[in-house]
Structure 1
Amino acid sequence: MKNYKLIIQYEGTKYSGWQSQGNTTNTIQAKLEGVLCKMLGQPVEIHGSGRTDAGVHAKGQTANFKADTKKTKEEILEYLNTYLPQDIGVVHIEEVPLNFHSRLHAKKKTYMYRIWNSEIPNVLDRRFLYHCPQKLDIEKMKEASAYLIGQHDFKSFCANKRMKKSTDRIIYKIDILKIGDEIQFIFCGNGFLYNMIRIMVGTLVEVGEGKRKPKEMPTIMEAKNRELAAGTMPAQGLTLLNVQY
């Protein structure tokens, strides 16, 4: 038995997220498992570092699976990229210790949310960013984002109202970059709650629009009330960049 670690890229536009679901096979996990099962002639369960939602993309999703096979890792890589859909690709494969688990052993995850901040739409990249025509105040958003850095209870930024586990998370770094008409929000943390990044970006955008003040952020967090934060931003702007172990 061998344990393989994969680095995967995918465009999430047409998929129902990462995780396999009983009512559909249109998920990233299901597509990968389907090809692996066909190749190896045995049931295969693949574990991702986390569940990206419907419409969310990945540049460096990490996953692992165990299999009893004589195929080389190069043969596995070639087979996967031959038979997977064109919007899913495996960019790296390596053999890892049997006890490695892509979700349980993850230490840091980095995501990016892209906004096109112009009255003129970006047609060619429309599936990878959110179009916001109203000009945003970058400095105000940076000021507000500083309150989110560190270890906090992020319940106010969690879309799962029935969350019973801890909602404490650590955000190590937030970068807000303006590159031409594009604004990139880059979050690095030890983990993120359901829709957490999209809700944080929505709240920061309201600061950038002048609808909120940066100093309101601590009050929102302390309330532990989802209704005090902004709405959830659309999925297409979010990409999982990488996972660190």
Structure 2
Amino acid sequence: MRIALGVEYDGSRFCGWQTQKNGERTVQEVVERALSSVADQDVQVFAAGRTDTGVHAIQQVIHFDTIAVRPMHGWVMGANIKLPKDVSILWAKEVPQAFHARFSARARTYRYLILNRRSRPALMARRATWIHRPLDAQLMHRSGQALLGKQDFTSYRTVHCQAKSPIRTLHSLSVERHDDFLVMEVHADGFLHHMVRNIAGVLIAVGSGDRPPDWAAEVLAHRDRRLGGMTAAADGLYFYRVDYDPQYKIPAIPQDSGLLWNL
């Protein structure tokens, strides 16, 4: 059978999602090890998106195939016993063979969390990006609207990005302030390597007054990463949601997903 899982993780102490040849600690590695133990056979998982070093997930969606028969709650509880405390399986459900965590995805959503105050964080260290200079969230929001639609995001991806095409469709982008926190949410058909962090870097420069409001559009038009400004830190980036055809009945984001996620 094919089983889909929802996975939550704190990426602070992981070298990203994907298993590394050099043996670095990754989320995929620990999840596959835990599921293999429950299945009593090797399990290979496929994810909706690959997150980088230090990036978190509110609900990553993965799938795997197995001949092992377990109740769905058995996969959840059994894996969680084996997993480290910074990774948790949220749910499990059987899905059709046509379902693929990555290729069946219609769109993905990331959220970028900024703590905007003069004093550095303690409780939110490695879970939010700290910017001590005042940021204008409304200005950042307006600037980001220039990125909507089907665009060439060459300027917003790392030079090491392996995607064949830089064309992506950005469905929505918002920046909102909630007291000392700013939340940037981006929703697109797909993302390029470092795309969200590079967008955040440009908008932070706009919000702090270092760059004019039309700079996000100018960077896009250049189609040159060297003119794209800084890449924002991974600390504040969260893989938030994946959209699938309703027929698959993928569970919604849990309502207790933590600070600000229900705003």
| Range into which the TM-score falls when normalised by the shorter chain | over 0.9
Shift of 1:223: 1.5
- Give the partner amino acid of 1:144: S
Shift of 1:41: 2.2
Distance 1:164 1:52 in 2: 15
Partner of 2:221, secondary structure, is helix
Distance 1:217 1:127 in 2: 26
Distance 1:137 1:56 in 2: 24
**TM-score normalized with structure 1 length:** 0.96
Question: Could you tell me which residue of structure 1 aligns to residue 178 of structure 2?
Answer: 179
User: Which runs of 5 or more residues in structure 1 are unaligned?
Assistant: none
Question: Could you tell me which residue of structure 1 aligns to residue 157 of structure 2?
Answer: 158
| Count of aligned pairs between the two proteins | 244
Distance 1:177 1:234 in 2: 19
Alignment of 1:1-245 (within 5 A): 2-24=1-23, 26-161=25-160, 163=162, 165-245=164-244
Per-residue CA deviations over 1:21-47 (Å, capped at 9, x if unaligned) read 111151110101111222222221100
Distance 2:16 2:160 in 1: 20
Shift of 1:162: 5.7
- Give the partner amino acid of 1:91: L
- Give the partner amino acid of 2:222: A
Shift of 1:147: 0.2
Question: Could you tell me which residue of structure 1 aligns to residue 247 of structure 2?
Answer: none
Distance 1:183 1:215 in 2: 20
Partner of 2:209, secondary structure, is coil
Distance 2:141 2:75 in 1: 44
Distance 2:184 2:107 in 1: 16
Partner of 2:171, secondary structure, is strand
Q: CA RMSD in A?
A: 1.2
Moved over 2 A (4+): 160-164, 216-219
Contact preservation (8 Å) 2:161, 2:193:
no
Shift of 1:65: 0.4
Shift of 1:104: 0.7
Shift of 1:51: 0.5
User: Which runs of 5 or more residues in structure 2 are unaligned?
Assistant: 245-263
Per-residue CA deviations over 1:120-173 (Å, capped at 9, x if unaligned) read 223111121011110012222112101011110101000134646011111111
**TM-score normalized with structure 2 length:** 0.90
Distance 1:19 1:209 in 2: 34
- Give the partner amino acid of 1:159: T
Contact preservation (8 Å) 1:25, 1:31:
no
Identity of aligned residues (%): 30
- Evaluate the alpha carbon distance shift between residue 161 and residue 86 of structure 1 in structure 2; reply closer, same or farther with a 3 A threshold: closer
Shift of 1:184: 0.8
